[in-house]
Structure 1
Protein backbone atom coordinates (compact mmCIF):
# COMPACT_ATOMS: atom_id res chain seq x y z
CA UNK A 1 0.00 0.00 0.00
CA UNK A 2 1.38 3.39 -1.01
CA UNK A 3 1.67 6.20 1.51
CA UNK A 4 -1.11 8.77 1.23
CA UNK A 5 -1.28 11.10 4.18
CA UNK A 6 -3.31 14.29 4.58
CA UNK A 7 -2.35 17.18 6.86
CA UNK A 8 -4.87 19.82 7.92
CA UNK A 9 -3.66 22.81 9.91
CA UNK A 10 -5.27 26.05 10.97
CA UNK A 11 -6.21 28.29 13.88
CA UNK A 12 -8.64 27.44 16.68
CA UNK A 13 -12.27 27.38 15.61
CA UNK A 14 -11.54 26.94 11.90
CA UNK A 15 -13.39 23.62 11.81
CA UNK A 16 -10.36 21.37 11.32
CA UNK A 17 -11.63 18.46 13.39
CA UNK A 18 -15.11 18.40 11.84
CA UNK A 19 -13.66 18.58 8.35
CA UNK A 20 -10.98 15.97 9.03
CA UNK A 21 -13.51 13.52 10.48
CA UNK A 22 -15.75 13.89 7.44
CA UNK A 23 -12.88 13.53 4.96
CA UNK A 24 -11.64 10.45 6.81
CA UNK A 25 -15.10 8.92 6.56
CA UNK A 26 -15.45 9.74 2.87
CA UNK A 27 -12.05 8.25 2.03
CA UNK A 28 -12.22 5.36 4.49
CA UNK A 29 -8.97 6.24 6.24
CA UNK A 30 -8.07 6.71 9.94
CA UNK A 31 -8.33 10.15 11.54
CA UNK A 32 -5.82 11.26 14.17
CA UNK A 33 -6.94 14.23 16.29
CA UNK A 34 -3.66 15.71 17.56
CA UNK A 35 -5.49 18.55 19.28
CA UNK A 36 -7.17 15.99 21.52
CA UNK A 37 -3.72 14.80 22.63
CA UNK A 38 -2.77 18.26 23.88
CA UNK A 39 -6.18 18.62 25.49
CA UNK A 40 -5.65 15.35 27.36
CA UNK A 41 -2.45 16.73 28.87
CA UNK A 42 -4.23 19.96 29.81
CA UNK A 43 -7.06 17.97 31.42
CA UNK A 44 -4.62 15.90 33.46
CA UNK A 45 -2.85 19.06 34.63
CA UNK A 46 -6.19 20.51 35.75
CA UNK A 47 -7.20 17.34 37.56
CA UNK A 48 -3.81 17.08 39.28
CA UNK A 49 -3.75 20.84 39.99
CA UNK A 50 -0.38 21.21 38.26
CA UNK A 51 0.84 24.74 37.54
CA UNK A 52 1.91 25.54 33.99
CA UNK A 53 5.21 26.70 35.50
CA UNK A 54 5.90 23.25 36.95
CA UNK A 55 7.46 21.77 33.82
CA UNK A 56 8.96 18.85 35.74
CA UNK A 57 5.53 17.58 36.77
CA UNK A 58 4.10 18.30 33.33
CA UNK A 59 6.95 16.31 31.77
CA UNK A 60 5.99 13.30 33.89
CA UNK A 61 2.34 13.67 32.87
CA UNK A 62 3.08 13.78 29.14
CA UNK A 63 5.63 10.95 29.32
CA UNK A 64 3.21 8.66 31.16
CA UNK A 65 0.01 9.68 29.36
CA UNK A 66 -1.82 6.79 27.73
CA UNK A 67 -3.97 8.37 25.03
CA UNK A 68 -6.13 6.21 22.79
CA UNK A 69 -8.70 6.77 20.05
CA UNK A 70 -11.60 4.39 19.46
CA UNK A 71 -14.59 4.63 17.14
CA UNK A 72 -17.77 3.84 19.07
CA UNK A 73 -21.14 3.89 17.32
CA UNK A 74 -19.57 5.79 14.46
CA UNK A 75 -18.10 8.49 16.72
CA UNK A 76 -14.41 9.07 17.45
CA UNK A 77 -13.92 8.80 21.21
CA UNK A 78 -10.85 9.81 23.19
CA UNK A 79 -9.56 7.83 26.15
CA UNK A 80 -6.99 8.88 28.74
CA UNK A 81 -5.62 6.10 30.94
CA UNK A 82 -8.57 3.93 29.94
CA UNK A 83 -11.22 6.54 30.80
CA UNK A 84 -13.30 8.18 28.09
CA UNK A 85 -12.66 11.94 28.09
CA UNK A 86 -14.20 12.94 24.76
CA UNK A 87 -16.40 15.61 26.32
CA UNK A 88 -14.19 16.38 29.32
CA UNK A 89 -11.39 17.68 27.09
CA UNK A 90 -13.76 20.15 25.38
CA UNK A 91 -14.73 22.20 28.43
CA UNK A 92 -13.97 25.94 28.56
CA UNK A 93 -11.42 25.29 31.33
CA UNK A 94 -9.42 22.87 29.19
CA UNK A 95 -9.76 25.12 26.15
CA UNK A 96 -8.34 28.05 28.12
CA UNK A 97 -5.36 26.03 29.35
CA UNK A 98 -4.45 24.02 26.26
CA UNK A 99 -2.77 26.84 24.32
CA UNK A 100 -0.34 27.40 27.19
CA UNK A 101 0.30 23.67 27.64
CA UNK A 102 0.83 23.06 23.93
CA UNK A 103 3.45 25.82 23.74
CA UNK A 104 5.70 24.10 26.29
CA UNK A 105 8.72 22.46 24.69
CA UNK A 106 8.53 19.36 26.88
CA UNK A 107 4.94 18.76 25.78
CA UNK A 108 5.33 19.58 22.12
CA UNK A 109 8.53 17.59 21.63
CA UNK A 110 7.06 14.45 23.16
CA UNK A 111 3.71 14.62 21.37
CA UNK A 112 5.21 15.48 17.97
CA UNK A 113 7.48 12.44 18.32
CA UNK A 114 4.45 10.31 19.21
CA UNK A 115 2.48 11.68 16.25
CA UNK A 116 5.35 10.99 13.86
CA UNK A 117 5.57 7.44 15.21
CA UNK A 118 1.86 6.95 14.53
CA UNK A 119 2.32 8.33 11.02
CA UNK A 120 5.14 5.89 10.25
CA UNK A 121 2.92 2.94 11.12
CA UNK A 122 -0.15 4.24 9.26
CA UNK A 123 0.24 4.38 5.49
CA UNK A 124 -3.01 6.21 4.77
CA UNK A 125 -4.43 8.67 7.27
CA UNK A 126 -5.57 12.22 7.94
CA UNK A 127 -4.16 14.24 10.82
CA UNK A 128 -5.14 17.74 11.94
CA UNK A 129 -3.51 20.28 14.21
CA UNK A 130 -1.39 23.40 14.01
CA UNK A 131 2.00 22.10 12.89
CA UNK A 132 1.12 18.93 10.99
CA UNK A 133 2.21 20.06 7.54
CA UNK A 134 5.28 21.89 8.83
CA UNK A 135 6.60 19.53 11.53
CA UNK A 136 4.71 16.26 11.92
CA UNK A 137 3.97 15.27 8.29
CA UNK A 138 6.28 17.44 6.17
CA UNK A 139 5.99 14.92 3.31
CA UNK A 140 2.19 14.64 3.37
CA UNK A 141 0.72 14.29 -0.11
CA UNK A 142 -2.05 16.78 0.68
CA UNK A 143 -1.56 19.78 2.95
CA UNK A 144 -4.46 22.07 3.79
CA UNK A 145 -4.36 25.25 5.85
CA UNK A 146 -7.98 25.81 6.86
CA UNK A 147 -8.79 29.23 8.24
CA UNK A 148 -11.57 31.81 8.66
CA UNK A 149 -11.76 35.31 10.07
CA UNK A 150 -11.86 35.73 13.85
CA UNK A 151 -15.51 36.75 13.99
CA UNK A 152 -16.68 33.71 12.03
CA UNK A 153 -14.52 31.32 14.02
CA UNK A 154 -15.83 32.79 17.27
CA UNK A 155 -19.43 32.45 16.07
CA UNK A 156 -18.88 28.79 15.20
CA UNK A 157 -17.11 27.98 18.47
CA UNK A 158 -19.77 29.83 20.47
CA UNK A 159 -22.56 27.87 18.78
CA UNK A 160 -20.69 24.61 19.35
CA UNK A 161 -20.33 25.32 23.07
CA UNK A 162 -23.96 26.43 23.44
CA UNK A 163 -25.14 23.27 21.68
CA UNK A 164 -23.18 21.26 24.26
CA UNK A 165 -24.94 23.05 27.10
CA UNK A 166 -22.19 25.43 28.21
CA UNK A 167 -23.16 28.90 29.46
CA UNK A 168 -20.81 31.22 27.62
CA UNK A 169 -20.73 34.66 25.99
CA UNK A 170 -19.74 35.37 22.40
CA UNK A 171 -17.45 38.23 23.44
CA UNK A 172 -15.55 35.89 25.76
CA UNK A 173 -15.16 33.32 23.00
CA UNK A 174 -13.87 35.98 20.60
CA UNK A 175 -11.36 37.21 23.16
CA UNK A 176 -10.16 33.69 23.99
CA UNK A 177 -9.63 32.85 20.31
CA UNK A 178 -7.70 36.07 19.75
CA UNK A 179 -5.44 35.24 22.70
CA UNK A 180 -4.91 31.72 21.43
CA UNK A 181 -4.08 32.99 17.94
CA UNK A 182 -1.40 35.22 19.47
CA UNK A 183 0.11 32.34 21.44
CA UNK A 184 -0.04 29.85 18.57
CA UNK A 185 1.44 32.20 15.99
CA UNK A 186 4.27 33.47 18.18
CA UNK A 187 5.41 30.44 20.16
CA UNK A 188 9.05 29.52 19.64
CA UNK A 189 8.42 25.86 18.85
CA UNK A 190 6.43 25.01 15.71
CA UNK A 191 4.43 28.25 15.45
CA UNK A 192 1.14 28.20 13.57
CA UNK A 193 1.76 28.94 9.90
CA UNK A 194 0.90 27.37 6.55
CA UNK A 195 3.43 24.95 5.09
CA UNK A 196 5.08 26.36 1.98
CA UNK A 197 3.23 23.85 -0.20
CA UNK A 198 -0.11 23.97 1.63
CA UNK A 199 -3.38 24.91 -0.06
CA UNK A 200 -4.97 27.73 1.94
CA UNK A 201 -8.75 27.56 2.26
CA UNK A 202 -10.52 30.54 3.83
CA UNK A 203 -13.91 29.21 4.89
CA UNK A 204 -15.26 32.52 6.22
CA UNK A 205 -17.89 32.62 3.49
CA UNK A 206 -18.09 28.91 2.73
CA UNK A 207 -20.49 26.36 4.14
CA UNK A 208 -19.23 23.08 5.55
CA UNK A 209 -20.18 21.05 2.47
CA UNK A 210 -18.36 23.45 0.15
CA UNK A 211 -15.16 22.95 2.14
CA UNK A 212 -15.59 19.17 2.02
CA UNK A 213 -16.09 19.19 -1.76
CA UNK A 214 -12.96 21.31 -2.28
CA UNK A 215 -10.75 19.08 -0.15
CA UNK A 216 -12.10 15.83 -1.57
CA UNK A 217 -11.46 17.10 -5.09
CA UNK A 218 -7.89 17.95 -4.15
CA UNK A 219 -7.36 14.57 -2.50
CA UNK A 220 -8.70 12.65 -5.48
CA UNK A 221 -6.52 14.69 -7.85
CA UNK A 222 -3.37 14.09 -5.80
CA UNK A 223 -4.20 10.42 -5.28
CA UNK A 224 -4.75 9.76 -8.97
CA UNK A 225 -1.59 11.69 -9.84
CA UNK A 226 0.38 9.67 -7.28
CA UNK A 227 -0.83 6.42 -8.77
CA UNK A 228 0.12 7.64 -12.25
CA UNK A 229 -3.37 7.36 -13.69
Structure 2
Protein backbone atom coordinates (compact mmCIF):
# COMPACT_ATOMS: atom_id res chain seq x y z
CA UNK A 1 0.00 0.00 0.00
CA UNK A 2 1.43 3.38 -0.94
CA UNK A 3 2.01 6.04 1.70
CA UNK A 4 -0.46 8.90 1.85
CA UNK A 5 2.27 11.56 1.64
CA UNK A 6 5.46 12.03 -0.36
CA UNK A 7 7.59 12.44 2.76
CA UNK A 8 5.45 11.04 5.60
CA UNK A 9 6.16 11.75 9.23
CA UNK A 10 8.37 8.92 10.46
CA UNK A 11 7.02 8.57 13.99
CA UNK A 12 3.49 9.26 15.24
CA UNK A 13 2.77 9.14 18.97
CA UNK A 14 -0.81 8.60 20.17
CA UNK A 15 -1.77 8.76 23.84
CA UNK A 16 -5.03 8.73 25.74
CA UNK A 17 -7.02 7.04 28.51
CA UNK A 18 -8.55 3.56 28.42
CA UNK A 19 -11.15 2.95 25.68
CA UNK A 20 -10.69 6.43 24.19
CA UNK A 21 -10.47 4.97 20.71
CA UNK A 22 -6.73 5.58 20.39
CA UNK A 23 -5.94 1.96 19.51
CA UNK A 24 -8.53 1.80 16.73
CA UNK A 25 -7.40 5.14 15.34
CA UNK A 26 -3.75 4.13 15.57
CA UNK A 27 -4.35 0.85 13.78
CA UNK A 28 -6.34 2.45 10.95
CA UNK A 29 -3.78 5.23 10.58
CA UNK A 30 -0.92 2.72 10.40
CA UNK A 31 -2.78 0.81 7.69
CA UNK A 32 -3.27 3.99 5.66
CA UNK A 33 0.41 4.90 5.92
CA UNK A 34 1.69 1.33 5.66
CA UNK A 35 3.42 1.81 9.02
CA UNK A 36 4.06 -0.56 11.89
CA UNK A 37 1.28 -0.34 14.49
CA UNK A 38 2.53 -0.78 18.05
CA UNK A 39 0.03 -0.81 20.90
CA UNK A 40 2.40 -0.42 23.85
CA UNK A 41 -0.40 -1.22 26.28
CA UNK A 42 -0.20 -4.82 25.07
CA UNK A 43 3.29 -5.04 26.58
CA UNK A 44 2.08 -4.00 30.04
CA UNK A 45 -0.87 -6.34 29.64
CA UNK A 46 1.51 -9.17 28.79
CA UNK A 47 3.45 -8.58 32.02
CA UNK A 48 0.17 -8.45 33.94
CA UNK A 49 -1.08 -11.67 32.35
CA UNK A 50 2.20 -13.44 33.14
CA UNK A 51 2.12 -12.24 36.76
CA UNK A 52 -1.40 -13.58 37.18
CA UNK A 53 -0.46 -16.88 35.52
CA UNK A 54 2.54 -17.31 37.82
CA UNK A 55 0.43 -16.25 40.82
CA UNK A 56 2.73 -13.35 41.62
CA UNK A 57 1.20 -10.86 44.03
CA UNK A 58 0.37 -7.80 41.92
CA UNK A 59 1.15 -5.63 44.96
CA UNK A 60 4.71 -7.06 45.11
CA UNK A 61 6.53 -4.41 43.07
CA UNK A 62 9.91 -6.16 43.28
CA UNK A 63 8.59 -9.49 42.01
CA UNK A 64 6.55 -7.91 39.21
CA UNK A 65 9.51 -5.77 38.14
CA UNK A 66 11.79 -8.80 38.03
CA UNK A 67 9.23 -10.58 35.87
CA UNK A 68 9.14 -7.61 33.48
CA UNK A 69 12.91 -7.80 33.02
CA UNK A 70 12.85 -11.54 32.36
CA UNK A 71 9.72 -11.90 30.25
CA UNK A 72 10.04 -12.68 26.55
CA UNK A 73 7.47 -10.60 24.65
CA UNK A 74 7.10 -10.64 20.88
CA UNK A 75 4.61 -8.59 18.87
CA UNK A 76 3.79 -9.50 15.28
CA UNK A 77 1.49 -8.16 12.56
CA UNK A 78 -1.52 -10.36 11.88
CA UNK A 79 -0.45 -13.37 9.83
CA UNK A 80 -2.23 -15.92 7.66
CA UNK A 81 -4.48 -18.15 9.71
CA UNK A 82 -5.08 -15.49 12.39
CA UNK A 83 -8.20 -13.87 10.90
CA UNK A 84 -10.12 -13.90 14.19
CA UNK A 85 -10.54 -10.15 14.61
CA UNK A 86 -7.17 -9.46 16.21
CA UNK A 87 -5.12 -6.46 15.12
CA UNK A 88 -1.73 -7.84 16.13
CA UNK A 89 -0.39 -11.01 17.74
CA UNK A 90 1.36 -11.11 21.11
CA UNK A 91 3.51 -14.02 22.21
CA UNK A 92 4.95 -14.56 25.68
CA UNK A 93 7.66 -17.21 25.72
CA UNK A 94 6.40 -18.39 22.34
CA UNK A 95 2.76 -18.75 23.44
CA UNK A 96 0.05 -16.79 21.64
CA UNK A 97 -1.77 -14.87 24.39
CA UNK A 98 -3.34 -12.15 22.24
CA UNK A 99 -6.90 -12.66 23.40
CA UNK A 100 -5.97 -13.37 27.03
CA UNK A 101 -4.72 -9.78 27.24
CA UNK A 102 -8.29 -8.42 27.21
CA UNK A 103 -9.77 -10.45 30.04
CA UNK A 104 -11.42 -8.67 33.00
CA UNK A 105 -8.63 -9.91 35.30
CA UNK A 106 -5.95 -8.24 33.19
CA UNK A 107 -8.09 -5.09 32.87
CA UNK A 108 -8.39 -4.89 36.65
CA UNK A 109 -4.65 -5.16 37.32
CA UNK A 110 -2.77 -3.62 34.41
CA UNK A 111 -2.84 -0.05 35.77
CA UNK A 112 -1.17 -1.21 38.99
CA UNK A 113 1.51 -3.16 37.11
CA UNK A 114 2.20 -0.27 34.75
CA UNK A 115 2.63 2.14 37.67
CA UNK A 116 5.87 0.46 38.79
CA UNK A 117 9.02 2.38 37.83
CA UNK A 118 11.09 -0.70 37.03
CA UNK A 119 8.37 -2.15 34.82
CA UNK A 120 8.00 1.12 32.93
CA UNK A 121 11.74 1.55 32.47
CA UNK A 122 12.06 -1.91 30.95
CA UNK A 123 9.05 -1.54 28.65
CA UNK A 124 10.04 2.00 27.59
CA UNK A 125 13.48 0.77 26.54
CA UNK A 126 11.86 -1.89 24.37
CA UNK A 127 9.38 0.61 22.93
CA UNK A 128 12.09 3.13 22.03
CA UNK A 129 13.89 0.44 20.06
CA UNK A 130 10.76 0.08 17.93
CA UNK A 131 10.35 3.84 17.56
CA UNK A 132 13.92 4.42 16.43
CA UNK A 133 13.30 2.24 13.38
CA UNK A 134 10.84 4.82 12.02
CA UNK A 135 7.62 4.31 10.04
CA UNK A 136 5.67 3.51 13.20
CA UNK A 137 2.42 4.57 14.84
CA UNK A 138 2.92 4.01 18.55
CA UNK A 139 -0.05 4.05 20.91
CA UNK A 140 -0.05 4.20 24.69
CA UNK A 141 -0.28 6.53 27.68
CA UNK A 142 3.17 8.13 27.79
CA UNK A 143 4.45 7.94 24.21
CA UNK A 144 4.55 11.67 23.54
CA UNK A 145 5.74 12.59 27.03
CA UNK A 146 8.26 9.84 27.86
CA UNK A 147 8.84 7.14 25.25
CA UNK A 148 9.27 9.30 22.14
CA UNK A 149 9.17 12.94 23.28
CA UNK A 150 10.78 14.05 20.01
CA UNK A 151 8.09 12.47 17.83
CA UNK A 152 7.21 15.00 15.10
CA UNK A 153 3.47 14.37 15.51
CA UNK A 154 1.84 13.80 18.90
CA UNK A 155 -1.85 13.15 19.38
CA UNK A 156 -3.89 12.85 22.55
CA UNK A 157 -7.24 11.12 22.01
CA UNK A 158 -9.87 11.21 24.73
CA UNK A 159 -13.61 10.69 25.22
CA UNK A 160 -16.08 11.02 28.06
CA UNK A 161 -15.86 8.37 30.77
CA UNK A 162 -19.43 7.31 30.01
CA UNK A 163 -18.71 6.76 26.32
CA UNK A 164 -15.53 4.86 27.12
CA UNK A 165 -17.44 2.63 29.52
CA UNK A 166 -20.06 1.94 26.84
CA UNK A 167 -17.33 0.95 24.39
CA UNK A 168 -15.63 -1.32 26.92
CA UNK A 169 -18.99 -2.94 27.76
CA UNK A 170 -19.68 -3.67 24.08
CA UNK A 171 -16.17 -5.06 23.60
CA UNK A 172 -16.44 -7.43 26.56
CA UNK A 173 -19.86 -8.64 25.50
CA UNK A 174 -18.56 -9.26 21.96
CA UNK A 175 -15.79 -11.38 23.47
CA UNK A 176 -18.31 -13.46 25.40
CA UNK A 177 -17.65 -11.97 28.85
CA UNK A 178 -20.34 -10.86 31.28
CA UNK A 179 -20.28 -7.07 31.28
CA UNK A 180 -22.12 -4.67 33.58
CA UNK A 181 -21.99 -1.04 32.45
CA UNK A 182 -22.01 0.45 35.97
CA UNK A 183 -19.17 -1.79 37.10
CA UNK A 184 -17.15 -0.98 33.99
CA UNK A 185 -17.74 2.76 34.37
CA UNK A 186 -16.45 2.54 37.95
CA UNK A 187 -13.39 0.65 36.69
CA UNK A 188 -12.76 3.22 33.95
CA UNK A 189 -12.84 6.03 36.52
CA UNK A 190 -10.59 4.04 38.86
CA UNK A 191 -8.05 3.43 36.11
CA UNK A 192 -8.13 7.10 35.12
CA UNK A 193 -7.33 8.00 38.71
CA UNK A 194 -4.40 5.57 38.88
CA UNK A 195 -3.01 6.44 35.46
CA UNK A 196 -3.26 10.20 35.90
CA UNK A 197 -1.83 10.31 39.43
CA UNK A 198 0.88 7.67 39.35
CA UNK A 199 4.34 8.89 40.33
CA UNK A 200 6.09 7.64 37.21
CA UNK A 201 4.99 8.71 33.72
CA UNK A 202 1.48 9.88 34.61
CA UNK A 203 -1.14 10.00 31.88
CA UNK A 204 -1.27 13.51 30.45
CA UNK A 205 -1.03 15.10 27.01
CA UNK A 206 2.33 16.37 25.85
CA UNK A 207 2.48 20.15 25.76
CA UNK A 208 2.66 20.06 21.95
CA UNK A 209 0.11 17.28 21.42
CA UNK A 210 -2.97 17.77 19.27
CA UNK A 211 -6.06 17.05 21.39
CA UNK A 212 -8.87 15.04 19.78
CA UNK A 213 -12.19 14.22 21.47
CA UNK A 214 -13.56 10.98 20.01
CA UNK A 215 -16.82 10.93 22.00
CA UNK A 216 -19.00 11.76 19.00
CA UNK A 217 -16.57 11.02 16.17
CA UNK A 218 -16.16 7.68 14.37
CA UNK A 219 -12.56 6.44 14.07
CA UNK A 220 -12.52 6.81 10.27
CA UNK A 221 -13.34 10.52 10.52
CA UNK A 222 -10.55 11.04 13.06
CA UNK A 223 -8.08 9.23 10.80
CA UNK A 224 -9.08 11.45 7.88
CA UNK A 225 -8.43 14.51 10.05
CA UNK A 226 -4.99 13.22 11.04
CA UNK A 227 -4.06 12.41 7.43
CA UNK A 228 -5.03 15.95 6.43
CA UNK A 229 -2.86 17.22 9.27
CA UNK A 230 0.08 15.16 8.01
CA UNK A 231 -0.36 16.38 4.43
CA UNK A 232 -0.47 20.00 5.59
CA UNK A 233 2.65 19.49 7.72
CA UNK A 234 4.57 17.94 4.83
CA UNK A 235 3.44 20.67 2.43
CA UNK A 236 4.49 23.43 4.82
CA UNK A 237 7.95 21.84 5.17
CA UNK A 238 8.57 21.61 1.43
TM score, norm. by length of structure 1: 0.94
1:56-76 CA-to-partner distances (Å, cap 9, x unmatched) read 221221111111111214741
- Whether the 8 Å CA contact 1:142–1:222 is kept in 2: the answer is no
1:204 to 190, 194, 215: 215
Give me the whole-angstrom Cα distance separating, in 1, the residues matched to 2:26 and 2:229: 14
Instruction: Tell me by how many angstroms 1:222 deviates.
Output: 2.5
Note the 1:1-229 alignment, pairs <5 A.
Answer: 4-71=10-77, 72-73=79-80, 75-120=87-132, 122-225=133-236, 228-229=237-238
Give me the whole-angstrom Cα distance separating, in 2, the residues matched to 1:58 and 1:205: 38
Give me the whole-angstrom Cα distance separating, in 2, the residues matched to 1:222 and 1:84: 39
Moved over 6 A (4+): none
Secondary structure at 2:88 match in 1: strand
- Whether the 8 Å CA contact 1:203–1:211 is kept in 2: the answer is yes
Secondary structure at 2:57 match in 1: coil
* Count of equivalent residues: 226
Secondary structure at 2:35 match in 1: coil
Secondary structure at 2:217 match in 1: coil
Instruction: Tell me by how many angstroms 1:44 deviates.
Output: 0.5
Give unpaired runs (5+ residues) of structure 2: 1-6
Instruction: Tell me by how many angstroms 1:42 deviates.
Output: 0.3
Give me the whole-angstrom Cα distance separating, in 2, the residues matched to 1:50 and 1:219: 44
Give me the whole-angstrom Cα distance separating, in 2, the residues matched to 1:215 and 1:21: 13
Give me the whole-angstrom Cα distance separating, in 2, the residues matched to 1:77 and 1:222: 32
Instruction: Tell me by how many angstroms 1:142 deviates.
Output: 0.9
- Whether the 8 Å CA contact 2:8–2:230 is kept in 1: the answer is no
Partner of 2:4: none
Secondary structure at 1:200 match in 2: strand
Give me the whole-angstrom Cα distance separating, in 2, the residues matched to 1:213 and 1:34: 23
Give me the whole-angstrom Cα distance separating, in 2, the residues matched to 1:55 and 1:182: 19
1:98-125 CA-to-partner distances (Å, cap 9, x unmatched) read 00000011111111121112212x1221
TM score, norm. by length of structure 2: 0.91
Instruction: Tell me by how many angstroms 1:2 deviates.
Output: 8.3
